[in-house]
Structures are given as C-alpha cells and as structure tokens.
Structure 1
C-alpha cells in the first residue's frame, strides 16, 4: 500500500498540471479566477484541519480530494494571471492603430543564413500622435546583411509601423506557429527592414542575463578560434554551450533520424555529466571529510549553476539545473529515497514560475524521461545479471589471466547492458510523445545512443576542460612575461585537438548509423491527442501488470488496446470518405491537390516542380495527418490522371498578345478553371465551380461572369502579388463574387459531395 503522505507532490503536481492544461485548452478569457481559487483553497484548508480532528478515513479522503481540486483551481488562475493578452495596455488593444513603437530586445537572436530572428518586448506605442505605455511581445525577423549586426539583448529599438497578429497555419496539418508563439506570450510578428528601425540605447531588462549572454559569446569564440572544421565547430558549440545556429540541415536530419537530437541541446545530460564528475572527484579526494554530504552538495550546486550562467541561462539549461538542484538538495538532506516526490517538487516549482512550460516539448520530454529512467532502468537491468554470468564462468584451475579476462569482460558488458537498460527506459515514457510531436520513431536509437552518448560525454568533459585551460592560460599570461603566453597556449591547443577529434568521431558515428540503418526509421506516423493519451494508458497499465501480475491490469490493457485500435479504424474511415480539392499556400508558387481519401495527386500548373523544402513543410504535414501513401506529383499537367483540356482565347489568334488558354479540369464532378493571363469576353463560355487566378491574371469581374458564370468561387493562388490580390479581391466582392486569397487566408479547401461522380 502506498503511503501518499510521504509523496505529497506526486499528487499536487498532476493536479496543478490539470488546472494549467484546462486553462490553456478552454482559453484564458472570461472572469478572473483568483477569487474562486482563493475561496476553494481556504475551504480545503478548513476541511483539512477538520479531518485531522475527526480521524476518519472518509473525512481525510474528502479533504484530500478538495485540496487537489484547490491546487487545480490555483493552476488555472495562475495561468490566467500569467496570460499577458489580458492586460489592459496589451498591444492587441491597439490593433493597426500603432504608428510606431518602442521595444527592447528580450530574447536570444537566432541567426539563419539570410535572416536574424528575435523577440521584442514592447514598452510604448504611438497612437494618433500620442505616446502610450503598452505591453506585449513581437517576434521580428530582419535581413542578415554585411553591414547589419545581430540584434543584441537589451537594445532598445524605435520601430516604424505596426506589427501584425501572428498568422495561423496556412496549409492542412502545418505546424501551428501562432499557437507556439502564444504559449510564449508572443501574439504579433513583423518583418523589419534595416531602414525601419534604429537603436536608441542599450538597457537590458535583466543585467544578469545580459552578462550571461556575453559570457556565452566569449566562450563560443574560444571554440571558433581553436576548432577549424566548420561542422565540428558547430556541433562542439551546440554540445557544450547549446548554440545551434551553425548546425547545417544535413546534420540536424541525421541526428533526428537516429533519435539523438537531445544530445545537441544543453540540458539534463550535460548538467548531469558535470555534476557526476564533480561528485566523483570530491568523493575520491575528500569522501571521508566531516560534513561531506552537505558541503559537497553546495559545491555541486555552485558548479552546475555556474555552468548554467556561462551557457547563457537558456530555458532548457535552467530547467535542467532547477531539476538537479532539487535532486541534490533532497539527497543532501536525506530525502533521496523519495525521488519521485523530489521530481514532483522540481516540476511544481518550475510550473509556478512559468505555467506555460506545461506545453513545452522539452519540459515534457525531460521529466518523462527522468521519471521513466528512475522507475524503469533498475527493473530492466535486473532482468539480466551480466556480471554474475561471466563471473560464474571462472574456474579455480584457470590461469589468473583467464580469470581476470572473464571478470573484465563481464564488467564491460555489464556497463553496456546498464546503458541499454537506461536507453530503453527513457524511450518507454517518451514513446507516445515522440510519435505525437515528431511523427516518426527511429528503431536505431538503441545503437546510436549506445555509441554516441559515451563519446559525447567525454567530448563534453574535454570541451569544458578546454574552456578551463584557456581561462587558466589567460590568467597566467597576464602575470607572467610576454613570451610565456605562447607556451601556455599549448595546453588549450592540445585539449582543443582532442576535443575536435572526439566531436568528429561523435559526428561520424551518428552519420554512419543514419546511412546504414536508414530503413530502421518508421516515418509519417500520425497520432492524435486522444490516441497519444491512449498510448500512455497502454504503457502505464502494461507496467502496472508487469509489476503486480494482477489480471485486472491485463484486462485494462486489453480494453485500452481495443479502444486504440477502434480510434485508428474510425480515423481511417473518416478520411476514406473525404474528397477534397485544395489550392495550397506556398510563397510565389502554384500548387493544387486532389484528395480521394488517403490518395492524393499534387499538380503544379506553373511547370516547375516543388522543392524538397516546399514538400516537407507545406505538403508533408497533410500527408502525415491523413496517413497518405505514395502521393503522385504532376508538373504542368504532364502525366496527370486528372482530366484536363484547354480553351483558347479567340483574341490570342489575332497576334495582339501571347496565347493564354484557360485550363479546365473536371474531377469528381467538380469543375475547375485555371487562368494565368488576360482573356476576353469572347472566350467560349464554360461554367465552372472554382476559378483559380494565377500570376496576376488581368480579369475583370464582368469577363468572369460572362465566361465562367456569376456564382463561381474566385481563388487567388500564391503566385499572385499581394497588391494584385488585394485590389482584385475588393473588385470581385463588389460584384457579388465569393473570393479567397490563399496568401492571407490560407489554403482554399473545397469538399466534393459524395453524390457527385
């Protein structure tokens, strides 16, 4: 029987998460929840005191249930209070009335090949000629030019113009970047030209973060100076400092395909490695000293927080550092036996600090992985006693060398088995979440992590050693004669050479696994939120059955498996019945899709095939969502299975302009017209349901009504200029036409009734 009183945060933290998730799901609008949450908390407190005096299980259970409900209510109220859009002076209140605004750079700058991206925190706006205090955040993107440096944290900008609300996904299944920004309290975006803003001054919102960022930049310069290979430098900087701007797309893809992306981010792995090294060193040198447990914990905390400071105090580093801080303190005060409660305390504190972390993928994966490792790794490892097996192979008559060889092999394979158990345990709890977010599962993760984690661990140690040696060399060089600096530099040079070789070996091992085990990755898996929850239920009930061997858990496992299979069948049946014509929103391109259930044919009428990037980010999410297999691609209608024919403009034969035929497509009873140039009213009348205008086709509403009918849908695809679509849209709407601009409104979707043939 579980004594819940010993593990309070195992109950409180899930209750807090439920309250926060409920607020995020239902929205933060509506009346303030703080009065209700406070009243509920006060009532729960009174009931707890009453139950203590009653000494009855019913009273205790009622008080506990009400306390959990109060914690959930406080979580919802906290989330509502932390939602910046509820503030009376938020940027949303001014809409497009803003003439210009003053804001401070309040985030890291992401450097891309052609752009910089960062977040501004608004301080004031000018509306109708008057300056007003304002709040809110704007995600800005600006071109990366030779004469324009990267935005620095703390720069105060004066920006001309007004930011626009973040756009929703433009194509089916696309990543919802607007929601991603909202969960970080960013509701606006703006592309800022170099002549559209100027830097007024440097005034960091948090001086500590500003100093930390500068320290991280200086350390990165050490790696840039000593590591000459561009690829190895990029991974070295990501591995030790968490700076991933210079990691190329091919490297990211290789790490994603092998399930080792987590190694590139400075998080729990690096913080844990650093603390483990410090603990081992202190135990070896001063393990018998008085008060060792307490002062070694304090020294360990100083080391990991110093590392967090030197790596820029990023969100992932802070999350891992806080988690290890709670664990270290729990161990120092003799509470290491309640590790689950300790993790609950860490999660509870982080969510009180920022409730929106509950929707952060890194937060979810980190805590689930640690929980799974703590629970599952010892249980998996116990299934095989590798060391004992090889130890038993020794015989008294065997030479001492043979006996030691048996022992060494057993010890080595035991370490390997422990690493395998750890990797398997981490995947158990994160399996469903990985499918939901990343739509793939690499079965090569076991081999990749088995090779990459030890190498990367040594690389982290050597990389930190390089930074320490460089600091020592600089300190000694400042007090020693000038000629000593060159000799002192040999130490960091040697460490840098070893560091680069380890990073090269680490990279090559990942690329080798990615190349030779490419078929071990199951891709394009779509799992809904409900199905993800069912998968978690399946895993939890399966673990419960393995632990207790009770048939009730096995029955629950079977029931959840049936429900999960039923949800997959229901989703497949729902998709099979759909027939849909889609005009996609892809910048400066024309692309349409003809969907029949999970089968699809894409056509690019402009005779240019889509790039791999366009397919990956614009079309692939929809393919994954519908579990489509083997999509067809046609370029310029060549080789398409869609019945099409061209209708020539009579005036084009007279030599006044280039021929501009109308392309007509007939699909499942839906009549679609494509026009890319001007046509005359003398064109043969052809009634269509949807008319797609491409490449700024100069058509007047009267011509469209005479040729295609007055009730046609007029769609402007992404090859049309913004000014053209805006002008034509108002003209067509004035004549009673239904219009759709895919560049601003997203993909045009037209469902075809099942009665059509």
Structure 2
C-alpha cells in the first residue's frame, strides 16, 4: 500500500500546502515559527541529499518525504501570510480609517450594474486624513450613483473620491452568510456609496494593458451576441454560457437551472473549457498521433484555451480551468510517467502559489472535486452497465459522468446551498449536449458576424435552441420533489461524509475489508452527531429578533415549532428573507418555513392586543410588542411586569405611559425603527434606567432557554 501511495506525491504535497494556507489565513501569529520551520526544512533537505548514503544510514526516503511535507506546509503558510495585504503596516486597516475624508482609487474590475448604481472593485492608493495625504493602500467596493459620468468609466481609470469609507460588517443574524469574510478572501475590507458629484477622474485607462484588452474583447463579443440574438432571456443565457457575463440572468432562470442541477452550465468554467478543448481536438486530430505533431497539437491547444480565457475577460473560473487543462495537455504530450491525479494536483499547487485564497473559493473547491470525482468514479460507474447500442452508450456515459461529479460535490453543495437536485442525471442529458451546441453556435455566430444574413440565421437557431432547453429546464423544476431543500449540515459533518467517500474509494482500489470497516464506523459517528444535534434542537427554546433593515421580524421557537412575525414587505422580498432569516430556520429544523412559500396565516396567533400593546406569555416570560398606537387612557392599580418589550415601527413617541406603569425588564429596539427614533428611545431608556438592546447596531437579539 505504501508503494501505491508513493504514486500520489504531488497530491500529498498539495494537501500539505492547503493546510499551511488555512493556518496562515486564520492564525497569523505563528509567522516566526513557520519561517523557522521553512529554513530548517530547506537546510535539512539539502544536507540529506548531499550526504546520501555516506553519513545517514536510515530510511532517507521517509526523512525526505517528511521534510518535503513540512516545507510544503511552511510555503503555504508563508505565502498566505505575505499575500494577505492586511498584514502590511501600510494597509488602511492598520490606521485611523474612520477619519479619512477623501481617497484616490484605481478601478480594477468591470462595472456591475444595478438599477441605480454601477459598482467597481478598486485599489486605494492614497487617503486624505486631516488635510494630509497618506500613501496607504487597500481594496474596496464602491457604488457609484448612475449618470452620464459613470457611462464612460472603464477598468484602469483613477478617481479622486471625496468621501469616507465604511468598513465591511460581519453577519448580524444567526448563520447569515458572512459577506465580510467572503470579500476578505479577495482582500476587500471596505465599501462605500458615492454620489455623482463626489468624484472626479484623474487618469483614464491607466491599468494593465493586457487585462484592459481582455475586458474590451469580452464587451465587444457581448455586444455582437446582443445584435443577433433577440430574446432577452436567450441572450442572457448565451452571454453567460459563451463569455461568462452573468449579470443579465434573472432570478427565475437561476432558480430553475439550480433546481434541475444544471447551474454549472451558466457559469463559464471547466465544462466550457473542456468543450473548447474537444473542438480543438476534433480539428487537429490527425496531429495528435504523430511524433512531432503532438507538440504542435499541444501548443495549438494551449493557445486556444488561453485565447478563450482572454476573450471571456480572464474570469477566475476560466483561468482555473485553463490552467488545469494546460497541465493535462503538457503531461500527455511529454508522456510523463505520472497519473492524472498528480497532474490535477500540480495545477492546483501552481494556482494556490499564485493566489492562496483561491482555496476558500466555492468554485475552486467544487471544480476540483468534480474533476477528481469524474476521473475516479466515472470509469467504475460506466463499467457497471454494458450497453451495445451506440446512442444508449453515449447516454449512459454522460449519466455516469453526472453521477460521478455529483458524488464528489454533493456534500459540499449541501453544506453551502442546503439543497440537492434529484433529477440532475436527466437534466444533464439535455444541458450538456445543449451547451456543446450553443457554445459551438455562438463561436460560429461571432466568426461570421461580418456576414449579417448568416449571423442572423445562426442567432435565430441559437435563440430557438435556448428556448427549447429552457422549457425542458422549467419542466424539470415542476417535477415532484425536483429539489430536496432545507438540508442543513455543519462543516465537521461534511468532512465526515467526505471521509466516508474516501474510505469507500480506498476499498474499491485496495480491496481491503479494513477500509470498509472504517467507512461504517465513520457512518455511525456521523449519524450519531446528526441525531444528537436534532435532539438538542428539539428541546431548545429560542427568542430571536432579527436584524432585517427597515422591517420587523421576530420568532418565538419551541423545538421544531415556532411563532414568527414578519412585516408584509419582508415576506414579499424573497431574497431579503432568504438572506437574513432563512439560515437560522434551516439550522433549527423548522419544516414549515420557506422564503418562497411562506404563509403567515398557517400560524396560530399567540399575541393579544391590550390597549395597543401586544402581549403573550412564552416559557413563563411576558413578551410585549409595540408596533401601533398605544392608548393613553388606561391606568393600572399596580405595576405589571413585561420581561421583554419589542419597540417597532417608530411607535415610541407616545410610550411614556407604558414605561411608567409597567415594570419592564428589557427593551429591544428592532430594525424597523429609523436612526432618529433609535437615538430618542436610547435617551429615554437611559434616563429611566431601563436595560435595552439595539438590533440595528448590535445585530439580532437571541435569548436561549
């Protein structure tokens, strides 16, 4: 078995590099230790190599292997540390950024348009603090108010912006997506909305000429597709599938493709680069088997793949896929005595050296898992059925690929997206061939765009093809149980599921019953943890007031049942509901809550209106809500107790009587109150010495019983 593992040297090196990157990203205080480890491992490695078989008689292969892993882990740590911009003393985070009044920034991305703004990623080069310019740097996202001025902005422009910067905030609700950490992996720590009159252009197109040309080519090709494909929905899909422009995809299309397990088609990645490689292979097939021809084929293939990456705007997913295929092509051309797993690991190793934070990209994780899954499982799944009919054999081959990819990526997909598409093996029979045809058709359209009559014909065919595919995708979405939603797993459980898959894979390869036993032990452990988590949730009581900007939202939860109160505007805003409220509902296992199909009438009303104050008793606690006009003509003989009082909808202006006649334990000022009302309430509560909690400032209020 040891000799078998020796075949995967680069896989192991890449795993140790990844471990070093993780530690370097989250524990920067170990820098000196890892620097010392790196120096010692380098010195030891050269010493062992230089004096091999002279002074060292022990198993040097083991020693050299351990040193290589230590070196790889140290490189990963140091690379992550040095490439993390916030570790620099000149980074804006390490200075008094609250006091800055202006900054100079270069645009480092294409514009992303919304109804009212154009957003750019920018590189800040200098900031103005107390009338003094300082050479500090950081990356940020700016949202520029739309106008004629913004239409001319392009990558590389340098702006003088008269504005401060807002540091990105972490999640304010339980289990809410951590947008701050997500952007942090791209070195972005600030954001700011900028009115139209608050910036001036200092320099135009001062960026990297190569990137600038790539963006212009992508924009030009996008305009060409728009000229000959008429239907907006078809055009959006053609742009997404061909050149990676996804801004025009509507929510219905995204939802339908996600439910059908075909979302990967709408993101230019490994599938699309693979199709380009197949096209090049078909065109230069005669060269592949000649002695000198295979080198020509390799050069042409690599140039073709990177040209495609160039015209799609050099998006990270395409760069990743192009790098992966380039390593495979080079390995096959020079007939190196290696295996596909080492080749894939080598491409990942190079990408992580270039940008260690790719490791935390969902796209990076899913793409490599999918390819590893296809390479390992697809041949074994395909051999399960012997199909003589050529057409049925092709169908079975595509199905085997889909099953293999899902087997490798499903646990991670469930962890991130909490759903599983049940008809993926059927939808992929449609979308993969369709993607091949649409991508080929789009290339033909772009190639013959100078011949208007032919371009219009090809555009009409593409339009019709995409329409037909969409109808099938919407049909799959309407199938019963097309998507299993509401699946919640924690990260450790996901690791255990992958460990189970690894043990089964080792059993298939090594044919040792030991791995079978390990797999079932891991299954038992994973099942025990999931059952234990659900038992804890079943006996847990929680009171939550959500931080949903401008809207009221709170829940009283007993185990798997709850009373939840949401503003009508929030119920209608599905994306806001999904982002802020749904994650905690998933964690709690609330089965009757879904942002796309929420009906508050199904809930039993537990609050009673008393003179404009809504009251209920929950787990021996009296909870009140003020969200309307409080009557001013009641008088209590003695003070009544309210343990928790929620102040909503700017209704605190006439609540002095409530504060005077009730013994209030705690006041929760929710997110439906505006800034001025919050400040006024804070002053009143401090004067009356009543404890309070401000949800918009501190995040969601949670009480666990």
Q: Assess same fold via TM > 0.5.
A: yes
Query: After superposition, where does 1:537-616 map in structure 2 within 5 Å?
Result: 537-604=499-566, 609-616=571-578
Q: 1:748 to 1:154 in 2, by over 3 A?
A: same
Q: Distance in 2 between matches of 1:723 and 1:33?
A: 51
Q: Is the 8 A contact 2:35 2:74 kept in 1?
A: no
Q: 1:668 to 1:635 in 2, by over 3 A?
A: farther
Judge which range, 299-308 or 188-197, deviates more.
Answer: 188-197
Q: Distance in 2 between matches of 1:490 and 1:97?
A: 60
Which position in structure 2 is the counterpart of 1:740? 693
- Residue 53 of structure 1: SS of its match in structure 2? coil
Which position in structure 2 is the counterpart of 1:53? 53
Instruction: Report whether the alignment pairs 1:502 with 2:465.
Output: yes
Instruction: Report whether the alignment pairs 1:262 with 2:241.
Output: no
Deviation of 1:239 after TM superposition, in Å, equals 0.5
Q: 1:179 to 1:461 in 2, by over 3 A?
A: same
Instruction: Report whether the alignment pairs 1:21 with 2:55.
Output: no
Q: Distance in 1 between matches of 2:571 and 2:285?
A: 63
Q: Distance in 1 between matches of 2:445 and 2:485?
A: 39
Q: 1:430 to 1:637 in 2, by over 3 A?
A: closer
Query: After superposition, where does 1:22-41 map in structure 2 within 5 Å?
Result: 22-24=23-25, 26-29=26-29, 31-32=31-32, 35-41=35-41
Deviation of 1:210 after TM superposition, in Å, equals 1.1
Deviation sequence 1:617-661 (CA, Å, 0-9, x none): 22221111122112499999988545433332xxxxxxxxxxxx2
Deviation sequence 1:509-552 (CA, Å, 0-9, x none): 2222222x241311110111000000001111112223333221
Q: Which runs of 5+ in 2 are unaligned?
A: none
Deviation of 1:41 after TM superposition, in Å, equals 2.9
Q: 1:620 aligns with which of 579, 582, 585?
A: 582
Judge which range, 699-708 or 524-533, deviates more.
Answer: 699-708
Q: Is the 8 A contact 2:570 2:576 kept in 1?
A: no
Deviation of 1:317 after TM superposition, in Å, equals 1.0
Q: Distance in 2 between matches of 1:679 and 1:193?
A: 43
TM-score (norm 1): 0.87
Which position in structure 1 is the counterpart of 2:413? 434
Deviation of 1:725 after TM superposition, in Å, equals 1.5
Q: Distance in 2 between matches of 1:101 and 1:210?
A: 23
Q: 1:283 aligns with which of 259, 279, 285?
A: 285
Deviation sequence 1:121-145 (CA, Å, 0-9, x none): 1111100110001111112234446
Q: Distance in 2 between matches of 1:495 and 1:566?
A: 57
Query: After superposition, where does 1:246-325 map in structure 2 within 5 Å?
Result: 246-284=248-286, 286=287, 291-325=292-326
Judge which range, 542-551 or 212-221, deviates more.
Answer: 542-551
Query: After superposition, where does 1:622-701 map in structure 2 within 5 Å?
Result: 622-631=584-593, 641=604, 643-648=606-611, 661-676=612-627, 677=629, 684=636, 685-699=639-653
Q: 1:425 aligns with which of 404, 408, 414?
A: 404
Which position in structure 1 is the counterpart of 2:352? 351
Q: Distance in 2 between matches of 1:123 and 1:324?
A: 36
Q: 1:469 to 1:369 in 2, by over 3 A?
A: same
Q: Which runs of 5+ in 1 are unaligned?
A: 388-409, 474-487, 649-660, 753-757
- Residue 671 of structure 1: SS of its match in structure 2? strand
Judge which range, 718-727 or 222-231, deviates more.
Answer: 718-727
Deviation of 1:739 after TM superposition, in Å, equals 2.5
Which position in structure 2 is the counterpart of 1:236? 238
Deviation of 1:718 after TM superposition, in Å, equals 1.5
Q: Distance in 1 between matches of 2:431 and 2:282?
A: 22
Query: Which protein is bigger by CA-based radius of gyration?
Result: 1
Deviation of 1:731 after TM superposition, in Å, equals 5.1
Deviation of 1:208 after TM superposition, in Å, equals 1.1
Q: Is the 8 A contact 1:257 1:442 kept in 2?
A: yes
Query: After superposition, where does 1:62-73 map in structure 2 within 5 Å?
Result: 62-73=63-74
Deviation of 1:226 after TM superposition, in Å, equals 0.5
Which position in structure 2 is the counterpart of 1:174? 176
Which position in structure 2 is the counterpart of 1:512? 475
Q: Distance in 1 between matches of 2:86 and 2:633?
A: 51
Deviation of 1:190 after TM superposition, in Å, equals 1.8
Q: Distance in 1 between matches of 2:261 and 2:594?
A: 29
TM-score (norm 2): 0.93
Deviation sequence 1:229-277 (CA, Å, 0-9, x none): 0000000000000001111100000011011111111111111111111
Q: Is the 8 A contact 1:590 1:606 kept in 2?
A: no
Q: Is the 8 A contact 1:118 1:151 kept in 2?
A: no
Q: Is the 8 A contact 1:604 1:610 kept in 2?
A: no
Judge which range, 55-64 or 690-699, deviates more.
Answer: 55-64
Q: Is the 8 A contact 1:183 1:356 kept in 2?
A: yes
Q: How many residues align?
A: 698
Q: Distance in 1 between matches of 2:160 and 2:72?
A: 43
Q: 2:390 aligns with which of 397, 407, 411?
A: 411
Q: Is the 8 A contact 2:102 2:163 kept in 1?
A: yes
Instruction: Report whether the alignment pairs 1:718 with 2:666.
Output: no
Q: 1:42 to 1:727 in 2, by over 3 A?
A: farther
- Residue 137 of structure 2: SS of its match in structure 1? coil
Q: Distance in 1 between matches of 2:417 and 2:570?
A: 29
Q: Is the 8 A contact 2:31 2:81 kept in 1?
A: no
Task: Give the CA RMSD over aligned residues.
Answer: 2.7
Q: Distance in 2 between matches of 1:77 and 1:608?
A: 46
Q: Distance in 1 between matches of 2:593 and 2:387?
A: 48
